[in-house]
Structure 1
Amino acid sequence: MDSPLVTALVPAVLAAIMFGLGLSLTVGDFRRVVEHRRTVAAALGCQLLLLPAVCFGLVELFGLAAAPAVGMLLLAASPGGTMANVYSHLFGGDVALNITLTAVNSILAVVTLPIVVNLAVAHFDPAGDGGEVGLQFGKTTQVFAIVLVPVALGMVVRARRRRFAERAERPVKVLCLVLLAGIVLAALFAERKNAGGYLVEVGPVAVVFSVLSLATGYYAARLVRAGHAQAVAACMEIGMHNTSLSLTIALSPSLLDSTEMAVPSAVYAILMYFTAGAAGLLLRRAAPTPVSPAGESPR
């Protein structure tokens, strides 16, 4: 992935993704943390601390090779994706809480994601085969610039030009997805001879991690006495990671520059729609039955 086009395009796509996220955020999204502080604290604790630890245990248990193992930890450290909002809406979750979690987690991930990935790099040492890993602690400032600055700019645009931001949000998202899909397809084509082996190696780990992420989100919220709708929101937010972000970081020549590290995110990006959909259907059946004003369940 050392094409000059990719070298220039991947960081630009990442910046555009984060700008699009900023277009959907307001200061009010962060203020809602106070309203649901226990649920937010539980969800973020799971996302930032528990899930990377669980993921580390899984890659050790399954014996993943170094590069896919780092790729799984990169995925685990990534915040919730925008599809979490959609799935939360479909299955009766508190979408406002989803937006709050996305907003806070996206900011925190600027610090936590490089730390988790660098610890994974130090442990698994994927550069031992003679290659180089670009994401070192000295690169944290660069990640900050590519990720946080566009988010801030997007929020400024939304605050000052709300209608423009609302009109631009969807086209920016679609453009980013198209460009990212092209980059991923190019990466997979370059590694087409190894694609089957990657799927066999990473697929089981990705499925187990997805299921555990979804279950952790729901039950962690319930543990702090959150309502069903808030627990569904936490389930989807924690269980549907931002694969656009993790893919772009893995493929970026100025960061990790590794197709092998991108494979877990690519596999997970497909599988999570099925695991999250199954979880949503189960949670919909488990939802409390509405009670009529007279105290009787509706017929």
Structure 2
Amino acid sequence: MSHDHHHHSHHHAPHTGQDSQRRLLWAILLTGGFMVAEVVGGILSGSLALLADAGHMLTDTAALTLAWFAARISRRPADDKRSFGYHRVQILAAFVNGLTLIAIVAWILIEAIRRLLSPMEVMGSTMLAIAGLGLLVNVAVFAILHFGDRDNLNIRGAALHVLGDLLGSVAAIVAALVILATGWMPIDPLLSVLVAMLILRSAWRLTRESGHILLEGAPDDLDAATLRREIPEQLEAVCNVHHVHVWSLTPGRHLVSLHAAIDEGEDRQATLVAIRSLLVERYGLHHATIQLESRHHCADEPVSGETHDDAPPRP
């Protein structure tokens, strides 16, 4: 006969949501404000390059607003419909931001090829002035976001958008200086391709990480096979661990559920406490659902577990 025993252990990381929200709001105000300045500058100088960059800044302002909205929503308490709360909204926003960045890279590459095939006249001095101002704004916004919560994928996604703009401003300054000195127009699209490649690398990593969490993937430093093998090794009372699932709610906030088989003679409560302590101290797993099962022939149980997590334990 098998006895079931469930145990839930809850742990909540300290709230950094308020700080993230404040940083994102400043980033939105600065980026949005400069976007308006770029539109005015572009219209006054007749510069298509500046108007195109203002379009890029518009997508960034939208991305930052999405990140701010996600940070705000994620602080709402858990309810009966969403028992884990709204923390995953931040991961969803990071995923969308990653995909948006990849789309922006594709647009930059297409535009660069078009300009290399038919070079356009660029007003170097106006471009230099606006790009210089843009660099100052982007450095300020990037600093605001960069020194925020490092584990927050949402903040990282927003910072990547701004880093793309910052690199774009540096490239625009270099291109403007080259154009003013030599009149060689292809430098503008060539440097934009270089910036696009740098953005793509970071965007792909962000999309992959957030996608992995949304798919309930195991954390990089932990997997089900490790727990199946190591818990029986560490605790004499436990002879077999199976039905192990490890996943993350957000980066740094991992959860686990598992079944542990123990011999009839073992103290169930003491074993439960021992498993929970091991999960917290060795693996940093503060939220655990543990089901204990009695086994008459515990010594015969395979320690390595099943070939698949959902396979039933041996009778």
TM above 0.5: no
Relative to total residues, which structure has the larger helix share, 1 or 2? 1
Q: Larger relative CO (CA 8 A, sep 6+): 1 or 2?
A: 1
Q: With structure 1 as the length reference, what TM-score do the two structures score?
A: 0.29
Determine which structure has more spread, i.e. the larger CA radius of gyration.
2
Higher normalized strand content (fraction of residues): 2
